[in-house]
Amino acid sequence: MENNLVHIAISPKVLASLIEREHLHVVDFRCLNAAAKKTVWTLLLSALQSAPRQQIQSGKTHHD
């Protein structure tokens, strides 16, 4: 394995679910191409739009 990395493919729906539930954070992975980066960016924007406004403003999440 190169640099102890695992190269996987995951559906956008599953990735979105992991991000929304805070089981996976964007600092934990990197995009390997422009298409993946665009998809992740879109998923993040969607997750932020669906998060309750109070949590965003206070910096708190549903786990706090």
Name the percent of the chain in helix, strand, coil, to the closest 5.
60, 0, 40
pLDDT of residue 9: 94
pLDDT of residue 1: 44
Strands, E assignment, 1-64: none
- Candidates 1, 9, 2, 14; CA nearest to 43 is 14
- pTM beyond 0.85: the answer is no
Residues of the chain with pLDDT under 50: 1, 54
Q: Decide if 49 contacts 41 (C-beta within 8 A).
A: no
User: Where are the domains positioned within the chain?
Assistant: 2-58
Q: Which residue has the tokens 């929304």?
A: 20
